[in-house]
Chain A
């Protein structure tokens, strides 16, 4: 076998691997989408009756502590806190943790909510950076503000956990807006599930373009800039197809840090959030799974609610998006590396046999196969080892597979409340579900590759997310 033949053989073998890899990937995603379709349909039909209004009024419904870590969020923190204080729920407290902000976040909070200093806690269950002061609000009895030295998001959440009083806590990003009934919706699986539910995630929707009034999404609309719309399609696909499907088999490893509910005692038992990681949300969920399996408790659930509960601002510039995606990819790989013992471990049930390997192969390291694919296809075509018609057919197939998945996500989005009301919105969403395959997806792949490199080289950090502040104007991002 001469060198040219060897190259050709290598490319043929790689081609077969790539084709079957993408076939398997699409089949698994479509399988998850099919499960998600059933779950969302059932959930929406179930929502019509057996309402959850009485859940929040019942004295036996567990109370919730809402934790809001804030670092340089002076622009929108008051809107967020006001929004949370007006949540439609009977017993809850809001703890805002000012994580060493330098933009006057604490001053804005002091002024708006008439904060008065309180005694510092004598001892803390979780170690954190120094807490400078704890404040109570004179206007809202259930608002507490912690002012501490900068230690990162995990550290801020741990400081909040030290002060939390209630059995469940909910994390909310400082730039997020909750639906008024969000707390009712996420606590519902806890009180109505036949198994012990230890964590609940909700769908996070993108608020760019929506009309915001008094910290609430008053009218759902699409932004004009393409970047946020691509992300809207992506969020629909990821949340409604992926996470709903995985939660059905109790293999959910990610609950978004922007909004998630957890059983406090268990989180304290595992030592709170892990400091120094960029994927603290995923890490927490994975460690909770680990804890339950080690305790021998098989009847537990980590659930995902397909109702829209939280709205957030998505990056509108490539620079911020780049940082965000690199961070996500690095966080994912870190968590996967830390919990490698779960891989194909039958003790973890579906999580070990499907959830973890799925994330590891397709979401984590799959990016290397994707990159290899791009390189091999171009190289193969260059040395004439791959026919052009095959390349075209493969590309069409990949585009159609991606589009089908995105359309499923969009359709599931239509079934849940707060859907996009106009026909024009749906034309645009469907158009973007097709267009994203010509550039956006490749760009995201490249960013994920960069995140993988960050992980391998041990570089990268949280970075700064610049916000325009959603409540200031109707975003034409």
Chain B
């Protein structure tokens, strides 16, 4: 039996429901008609209105406070992170100035707790736009700082969003060591995380992952298959034969216009050098 990670929220929901019920108990205790709340003359409508007033007033106050706390927290967090990002930005500048690896690594060294998160964000953002040797240096930095390791650990997190983020991060970092764990995720995750995992595999661009796209396609709902094909196109000409196989197996899923577009793309990619 495969272990399927569960969200922490699974336990939070019954706990919340229990808490609400607990809050409602005093109200319910008053509600039998034989109990007359002072001044209501046993009129259920008036009793209901009075109880609701208390309940709603409490909710309004709590929600208003929550909005302000949320807002304040977001502002503080954003401000702090922006400030720290500026501090680590010099690492990117050193990288672009082709400074030695050690200098770049030193610039990215986390100082305060929480800095790893900020460095990771900065590196991932830069990796979207950088190619060639600077990209490899950034990947090496990520490896040295334990960012890749951290994301690999997060692949088995209880929180599905943490797993989703980690799998995407590993794809952006083109972490080849993540291929096997990501392939494992294709078997047990929900559809949306599976799609993110497939995209990550496409970003890593290891053609050995291509046959696994067929296995994943078998378990996915048909409307998602064009998206799978679209992700496979990222592999370039190496994916052509696999794409043809996917389309042949699930021909009814692809509308004629899309098929036309796909064939055009396949023809174009097979003409590219190195195909």
Known A46-B164, A50-B164, A54-B199; contact A407-B64, beta-carbon cutoff 8 A: yes
Known A59-B264, A390-B49; contact A423-B71, beta-carbon cutoff 8 A: yes
Give chain B's interface secondary structure class: helix
**Residues B68 and A58 in contact, CB atoms below 8 Å apart:** no
**Residues A397 and B53 in contact, CB atoms below 8 Å apart:** yes
Is there a chain B Cβ closer than 8 Å to A411's Cβ? yes
Is there a chain A Cβ closer than 8 Å to B237's Cβ? no
**Residues B48 and A426 in contact, CB atoms below 8 Å apart:** no
- Shortest CB-to-CB span from A188 to chain B, Å, is 10
Identify which of A46, A393, A400 contacts B161 (C-beta below 8 A). Answer: A46
**Residues B53 and A396 in contact, CB atoms below 8 Å apart:** yes
**Residues B223 and A196 in contact, CB atoms below 8 Å apart:** yes
The residues of A that contact B49 with a CB separation of less than 8 Å are: 19, 390, 393-394, 397
**Residues B223 and A194 in contact, CB atoms below 8 Å apart:** yes
The residues of A that contact B261 with a CB separation of less than 8 Å are: 59-60
Question: Hey, what's the 0/1 contact readout for B40-65 against A, CB within 8 Å counting as 1?
Answer: 00011110111011001101100110
**Residues A400 and B57 in contact, CB atoms below 8 Å apart:** yes
**Residues B168 and A430 in contact, CB atoms below 8 Å apart:** no
Is there a chain B Cβ closer than 8 Å to A255's Cβ? no
- Shortest CB-to-CB span from B173 to chain A, Å, is 13
In Å, the complex CA distance between A396 and B221 comes to 50
Is there a chain B Cβ closer than 8 Å to A403's Cβ? yes
Is there a chain A Cβ closer than 8 Å to B70's Cβ? yes
Identify which of A58, A195, A407 contacts B233 (C-beta below 8 A). Answer: A58
Question: Hey, what's the 0/1 contact readout for B58-96 against A, CB within 8 Å counting as 1?
Answer: 011001101110111011000000000000000000000
**Residues B71 and A408 in contact, CB atoms below 8 Å apart:** no
In Å, the complex CA distance between A240 and B243 comes to 40
- Shortest CB-to-CB span from B230 to chain A, Å, is 4
In Å, the complex CA distance between A400 and B49 comes to 11
**Residues B71 and A414 in contact, CB atoms below 8 Å apart:** yes
Known A196-B223, A400-B56; contact A60-B229, beta-carbon cutoff 8 A: yes
Is there a chain B Cβ closer than 8 Å to A45's Cβ? yes
Instruction: List which A108-133 residues lie within 8 A (CB) of chain B.
Output: none
**Residues B230 and A414 in contact, CB atoms below 8 Å apart:** no
Is there a chain B Cβ closer than 8 Å to A48's Cβ? yes
Is there a chain A Cβ closer than 8 Å to B191's Cβ? yes
Known A60-B233, A194-B221, A407-B60; contact A400-B53, beta-carbon cutoff 8 A: yes
Is there a chain A Cβ closer than 8 Å to B265's Cβ? yes
How many A-B contacts at CB < 8 Å in the complex? 125
**Residues B45 and A16 in contact, CB atoms below 8 Å apart:** yes
Instruction: List which B191-225 residues lie within 8 A (CB) of chain A.
Output: 191-192, 195-196, 199, 220-221, 223-224
Is there a chain A Cβ closer than 8 Å to B255's Cβ? yes
- Shortest CB-to-CB span from A424 to chain B, Å, is 11
**Residues B195 and A50 in contact, CB atoms below 8 Å apart:** yes
Is there a chain B Cβ closer than 8 Å to A269's Cβ? no
Is there a chain A Cβ closer than 8 Å to B165's Cβ? yes
**Residues A407 and B67 in contact, CB atoms below 8 Å apart:** yes
In Å, the complex CA distance between A194 and B195 comes to 11
In Å, the complex CA distance between A103 and B70 comes to 48
Instruction: List which A151-180 residues lie within 8 A (CB) of chain B.
Output: 167
**Residues A48 and B48 in contact, CB atoms below 8 Å apart:** no
- Shortest CB-to-CB span from B38 to chain A, Å, is 11
**Residues B233 and A45 in contact, CB atoms below 8 Å apart:** no
**Residues B233 and A426 in contact, CB atoms below 8 Å apart:** no
**Residues B224 and A45 in contact, CB atoms below 8 Å apart:** no
Is there a chain B Cβ closer than 8 Å to A9's Cβ? no
The residues of A that contact B257 with a CB separation of less than 8 Å are: 167
Is there a chain B Cβ closer than 8 Å to A192's Cβ? yes
Instruction: List which A34-57 residues lie within 8 A (CB) of chain B.
Output: 45-46, 48-51, 54
In Å, the complex CA distance between A23 and B74 comes to 34
Identify which of B74, B75, B262 contacts A60 (C-beta below 8 A). Answer: B262
In Å, the complex CA distance between A246 and B53 comes to 27
- Shortest CB-to-CB span from B269 to chain A, Å, is 10
Is there a chain A Cβ closer than 8 Å to B26's Cβ? no
Is there a chain B Cβ closer than 8 Å to A389's Cβ? yes
Is there a chain A Cβ closer than 8 Å to B258's Cβ? yes
In Å, the complex CA distance between A323 and B123 comes to 53
Is there a chain B Cβ closer than 8 Å to A201's Cβ? no
**Residues A414 and B56 in contact, CB atoms below 8 Å apart:** no
Instruction: List which A409-436 residues lie within 8 A (CB) of chain B.
Output: 410-411, 414, 423, 426, 430
**Residues A194 and B161 in contact, CB atoms below 8 Å apart:** no
The residues of B that contact A195 with a CB separation of less than 8 Å are: 221, 223
In Å, the complex CA distance between A410 and B63 comes to 10
The residues of B that contact A60 with a CB separation of less than 8 Å are: 226-227, 229-230, 233, 258, 261-262, 265
- Shortest CB-to-CB span from B40 to chain A, Å, is 9
**Residues B50 and A393 in contact, CB atoms below 8 Å apart:** yes
Known A167-B257, A390-B46; contact A401-B52, beta-carbon cutoff 8 A: yes
In Å, the complex CA distance between A16 and B47 comes to 11
Is there a chain A Cβ closer than 8 Å to B113's Cβ? no
**Residues B161 and A411 in contact, CB atoms below 8 Å apart:** no
The residues of A that contact B255 with a CB separation of less than 8 Å are: 167
Is there a chain A Cβ closer than 8 Å to B274's Cβ? no
- Shortest CB-to-CB span from A371 to chain B, Å, is 19
**Residues A23 and B48 in contact, CB atoms below 8 Å apart:** yes
Q: Which B residue sits closest to A420, measured CB to CB? A: B71
Identify which of A49, A61, A191, A193 contacts B165 (C-beta below 8 A). Answer: A49
Is there a chain B Cβ closer than 8 Å to A227's Cβ? no
**Residues A192 and B227 in contact, CB atoms below 8 Å apart:** yes
In Å, the complex CA distance between A48 and B160 comes to 12
The residues of B that contact A54 with a CB separation of less than 8 Å are: 199, 230, 234
Instruction: List which B121-168 residues lie within 8 A (CB) of chain A.
Output: 161, 164-165, 167-168
Known A61-B230, A400-B53; contact A414-B63, beta-carbon cutoff 8 A: no
Known A194-B223, A393-B49, A404-B59; contact A50-B168, beta-carbon cutoff 8 A: yes
Is there a chain A Cβ closer than 8 Å to B39's Cβ? yes
Question: Hey, what's the 0/1 contact readout for A198-222 against B, CB within 8 Å counting as 1?
Answer: 0000000000000000000000000
In Å, the complex CA distance between A31 and B194 comes to 31
Q: Which B residue sits closest to A425, measured CB to CB? A: B71
Is there a chain B Cβ closer than 8 Å to A20's Cβ? yes
3 nearest A-B pairs in the assembled complex, by CB-CB distance? A400-B56, A194-B221, A58-B230
Known pairs A23-B48, A194-B220 / 13 extra A-B pairs, C-beta < 8 Å? A19-B45, A26-B52, A49-B169, A59-B265, A167-B257, A194-B223, A393-B53, A396-B57, A397-B53, A401-B56, A408-B63, A414-B70, A430-B64
A-B contact pairs, 6 of them (CB 8 A): A50-B195, A61-B230, A393-B49, A394-B49, A404-B63, A411-B66
